[in-house]
């Protein structure tokens, strides 16, 4: 009897010393349920997102066969949203402002994109070759679900790999079956926090005349801005591509998103006066 009481007392003491998360472990939701929650939450944020604009800087280092930089190009875009769709307006090329002719040409392109966005229902892609995270995971096999802390916030992380038997529709989904990687979803907000993916096999385009090579990979990060909504903060990509008659193309691409601004949505989609503090990078 005394030994039993001592055992129970020691067990109670040990349990009380465990963190609350260990005592009250919350089951990790299944992936279809989780992605449905991500989609539902994103729809709620789409209208708020149209009140934001931000800068996106893209730097492309073209590499030779030995991995050394042989050419560098850069561009700077202003990003805004119309009818929930993202529109990019180029404002700089290789560190210089666009010329008058370039600005006129770019403005014409942007206006066409705006008109297209206004005619495309919210939640529907303007480009048929685009693919969403939920579509991506629908043709993936997922494994190793777990909780991980990222920037002091709990995330639901899991690994994924393309299911060769999954039914796909269009080139983007076909290519996605060659991907594998890891995704982190913020547990509280049900938003994608980070994604790392790679091509584990070559993917051929244009009747086999062009292919994205095995070893291509990318990383995507986004964060909560102004405690209001999630927006991109940065991304990196290593691209290996091949084309018939060419030695091949290799490049490292770096994308940085910052200078978030809140504005009142006008017909011209011009930024207003309230400037949002950019989030710290991971």
Residue 70, domain member (yes or no): yes
Q: What is the C-alpha to C-alpha distance for residues 134 and 66, in angstroms, rounded to an integer? A: 37
Residue 261 near residue 49, CB atoms below 8 Å: no
Beta bridge partners of 225: 229
Query: Stretch 222-235: mean pLDDT, rounded?
Result: 89
Say if CB 58 and CB 50 are below 8 A apart.
no
Dihedral over alpha carbons 131, 174, 127, 71 (to 10 degrees): 90
Mean pLDDT of the chain: 79
- Whether residue 123 is contained in a domain is answered as yes
Q: Which two tokens stand for residue 188?
A: 């509280």
Q: How many degrees, rounded to 5, is the angle at CA 30 between CA 44 and CA 179? A: 85
If pLDDT is split at 50, 70 and 90, which confidence band does 106 have? very high
Q: Where do the H-state alpha helices sit in the chain?
A: 2-17, 20-23, 31-49, 100-119, 133-138, 171-176
Provide the 8-state DSSP code for 101: H
pLDDT tens-digit profile of 128-159?
A: 667 777 777 778 888 999 999 999 999 999 99
Domain that holds residue 8: 2-275
Is 161 within a domain? yes
What is the per-residue pLDDT across 77-93, written as a single tens digit (0 to 9) for each? 999 999 888 999 999 99
Report how far residue 59's alpha carbon sits from residue 65's, in angstroms, rounded to the nearest whole number. Answer: 19
The answer to whether residue 280 is domain-embedded is: no
The number of domains in the chain is 1
Q: Are 249 and 33 in contact (CB under 8 A)?
A: no
DSSP structure class, residue 276: P
Q: In angstroms, rounded to a whole number, what is the distance separating the alpha carbons of residues 69 and 187?
A: 39
Token digits for 22? 């260990």
- Pairwise CA distance, residues 248 & 244, whole Å: 9
Q: Tell me the backbone φ, ψ of residue 161, rounded to 5 degrees.
A: -150, 150
- pLDDT, average across residues 175-183: 86
- 282 in a domain, yes or no? no
Q: What is the pLDDT of residue 203?
A: 67
pTM of the model: 0.78
């Amino acid at each position: 009897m005394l030994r039993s009481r001592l055992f129970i007392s020691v067990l109670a003491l040990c349990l009380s010393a465990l963190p609350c998360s260990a005592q009250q472990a919350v089951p990790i939701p299944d992936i279809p349920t989780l992605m449905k929650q991500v989609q539902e939450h994103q729809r709620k944020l789409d209208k708020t997102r149209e009140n934001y604009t931000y800068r996106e800087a893209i730097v492309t280092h073209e590499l030779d066969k030995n991995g050394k930089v042989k050419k560098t190009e850069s561009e700077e875009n202003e990003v805004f949203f119309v009818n929930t769709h993202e529109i990019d307006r180029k404002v700089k090329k290789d560190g210089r402002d666009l010329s008058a002719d370039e600005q006129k040409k770019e403005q014409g392109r942007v206006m066409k994109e705006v008109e297209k966005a206004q005619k495309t229902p919210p939640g529907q892609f303007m480009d048929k070759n685009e693919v969403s995270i939920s579509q991506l995971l629908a043709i993936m096999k997922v494994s190793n679900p777990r909780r991980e802390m990222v920037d002091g916030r709990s995330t639901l992380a899991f690994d994924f790999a393309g299911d060769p038997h999954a039914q796909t529709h269009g080139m983007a989904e076909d290519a996605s079956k060659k991907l594998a990687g890891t995704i982190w979803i913020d547990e509280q907000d049900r938003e994608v926090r980070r994604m790392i993916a790679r091509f584990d096999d070559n993917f051929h385009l244009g009747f086999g005349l062009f292919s994205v090579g095995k070893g291509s990979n990318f990383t995507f990060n986004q964060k909560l801005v102004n405690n209001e909504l999630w927006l991109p903060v940065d991304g990196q990509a290593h691209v290996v591509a091949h084309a018939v008659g060419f030695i091949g193309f290799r490049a490292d691409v770096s994308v940085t998103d910052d200078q978030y601004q809140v504005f009142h949505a006008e017909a011209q989609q011009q930024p207003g006066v309230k400037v949002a503090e950019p989030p710290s990078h991971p």
